[in-house]
Chains A and B, each alone.
Chain A
């Protein structure tokens, strides 16, 4: 599958506890699952999967059930700050590719963790990765997921951090039994609380008000027009008497200018 990668790179995937969008139950997080999947593709058995939190959390077994022999847990309280733990762990390991989701599905979900880790480690970061096409000891060829289904190819020198987009290959199904049998390597830490966050008030999300279309017309006729008129494009250019070639040229120029054809 990998021409000369031969599973020689050391990949670490970070996983968190997800949240089912409808039921709110904890689950394997969508993007983190993909990060594990991509890690398995790149490193096979050499993949290290790390979670900072409670080692008793049943959801970890869902990750383990993707075919992992072991899982590393950096033990921490629910209100703890994962960043220093992760940083200590990574700076001591010889990892050179770090994969994780874009935003956690629980907690603050600010999506800052990968950036803070990359900044502290001094590694380059790629966000919204759709695939890692090719990797060797020095560099990797990465496909980024752009809006509108576009892809950008980027090469990056190792080591690097990548956040995994929903466009990446879907996480495989988890197997319950093997998940239970996987070993959990617990690394104990002293408690580091996130002091800023404890001052925040957290409440269930209020529905956001819909924006209304406010018509700022001065008189009744204008208001009537605003309510009934068809939306008209502000006077486009009309070409009637030119030759078909000229007309096609005009379209072509517009497409070039808008950069939809390159």
Chain B
């Protein structure tokens, strides 16, 4: 309700009346406040150059030539951006399917996944006059994605049983084989990536006896161009059933919404029969500081706002985070040069970037452009890092880090206890 009313233009009849009546005692002050036209004693319009514009957030005067905020009495004309509702793309009774198996790194679609979904729609559009087809995404394990509808998923198969958690290529392959038998899709599209796409695609191709195209980058319904010989040649071939696609193989969907209707898979009982000859023993603990900074998944980064460096290093160790730093921290000698994040340091791709006492200078922000979640701890609520952050904490870094260390220690202790209980 309140959202709706804030968009309405509110007229203030009294203010308008005073504005019309030059003899009203409040006329001058209202006019000054509204910035509307003022007439001099001879009837000429007088402009007061000092009341043009407004003071911007950084204290500099801004003049708004687009006139988006003018008008008498309705200073509340809010600039809330109207959320555009994209047209819904519906597929009724599809005759065929294109299946996409996204990587879903961290439970979300990657840009690579979205490109592949976009390509699937392009392939459908090319042959839309002959066949009515839908794009189906097959996701394994936990999903945190909330934007399937904007990424171009018409139908969704979400297989989330415990048999698909962790490293389970055999279970996933069996599921895909089952889906293939049931739906006989026109194509299977996979991102050609180290996040599991290539592996699963190759397994499926070997199982189905299809000759897959790997490293494909230019795909139409008839012809596929893929890279071969470690990227030195282009191979032009007929488009096969199974494709492993390079990044930027297609354009992600951005003009339509999609239905994301669930699609069922029969006879998942088949899954109980697989003999798993690969037994997952879980992830190994690796020293986070051995991981190259550009590849690290979780970075704890220090800036000029860190005063207790021992505490910072302890926190990184407890969290298992790779250490990063802003240029100031490096220049001042607190961190080695190799740890610098930013334009003249390393461009990082962390999934979670925890910036402590970093103001967010543009040279630093360039380096973290590809990070997914940014958490900022800073005393200055107006700094750029706070504005960019997904979770912003306005507080002294030392206090928050101390609390964080306490929490993690408690968590680790609890986990150890649990493991002991399990072993017992």
CA separation between A250 and B231, bound complex, in Å?
45
CA separation between A24 and B105, bound complex, in Å?
34
CA separation between A125 and B173, bound complex, in Å?
12
* Chain B residues whose CB sits within 8 angstroms of the CB of A63 once the complex forms: none
CB-CB under 8 A for A205 and B233, given A147-B195, A153-B281: yes
CA separation between A232 and B203, bound complex, in Å?
41
Interface residues of A in 179-209 (CB under 8 A from B): 196, 199-206, 208
* Chain B residues whose CB sits within 8 angstroms of the CB of A111 once the complex forms: 198, 202, 214
Q: Which A residues are within 8 Å of any B CB, using their own CB?
A: 19, 21, 24, 103-112, 114-116, 118-119, 124-128, 141, 143-144, 146-157, 160, 196, 199-206, 208, 211, 216, 221, 230-233, 236-240, 244-245, 247-252, 254-255, 258-262
Can you give 15 contacting A-B residue pairs, CB < 8 Å? A111-B198, A112-B205, A112-B211, A127-B202, A147-B295, A150-B291, A154-B278, A211-B248, A230-B384, A231-B365, A251-B377, A254-B375, A258-B373, A260-B298, A261-B320
B229/A19 in contact, CB under 8 A: yes
A150/B214 in contact, CB under 8 A: no
Count of chain B residues with a beta carbon within 8 Å of a chain A beta carbon: 87
The answer, among A19, A103, A155, A233, for a CB contact under 8 Å with B389, is A233
B66/A258 in contact, CB under 8 A: no
Closest 5 CB pairs of A and B: A248-B403, A149-B291, A260-B298, A115-B206, A153-B281
CA separation between A115 and B388, bound complex, in Å?
44
A115/B202 in contact, CB under 8 A: yes
Interface residues of B in 390-420 (CB under 8 A from A): 390-396, 399-400, 402-404, 406-408, 411, 415
CB-CB under 8 A for A19 and B407, given A110-B213, A232-B387: no
Q: Mark B207-246, 1 if CB is under 8 A from A, else 0.
A: 1000111110100000000011111111111100000000
CA separation between A140 and B248, bound complex, in Å?
38
Q: Count A/B pairs, Cβ under 8 Å.
A: 234
CA separation between A108 and B362, bound complex, in Å?
43
Q: Mark B331-375, 1 if CB is under 8 A from A, else 0.
A: 000000000000000000001101000000010010001000111
CA separation between A251 and B400, bound complex, in Å?
9
B386/A115 in contact, CB under 8 A: no
* Chain B residues whose CB sits within 8 angstroms of the CB of A216 once the complex forms: 254
A247/B395 in contact, CB under 8 A: yes
CB-CB under 8 A for A252 and B407, given A111-B202, A205-B232, A232-B388: yes
CA separation between A202 and B225, bound complex, in Å?
10
Q: CB-nearest residue of chain A relative to B236?
A: A201
B388/A261 in contact, CB under 8 A: no
B286 at the interface (CB under 8 A from A): yes
CB-CB under 8 A for A244 and B286, given A196-B211, A205-B233, A236-B390: no
B124 at the interface (CB under 8 A from A): no
The distance from the CB of A208 to the nearest CB of chain B, in whole angstroms, is 6
A148/B291 in contact, CB under 8 A: yes
A233/B393 in contact, CB under 8 A: no
The answer, among A24, A239, A248, for a CB contact under 8 Å with B404, is A248
CA separation between A211 and B118, bound complex, in Å?
14
The distance from the CB of B231 to the nearest CB of chain A, in whole angstroms, is 6
* Chain A residues whose CB sits within 8 angstroms of the CB of B407 once the complex forms: 248-249, 252
The distance from the CB of A229 to the nearest CB of chain B, in whole angstroms, is 12
The distance from the CB of B365 to the nearest CB of chain A, in whole angstroms, is 8
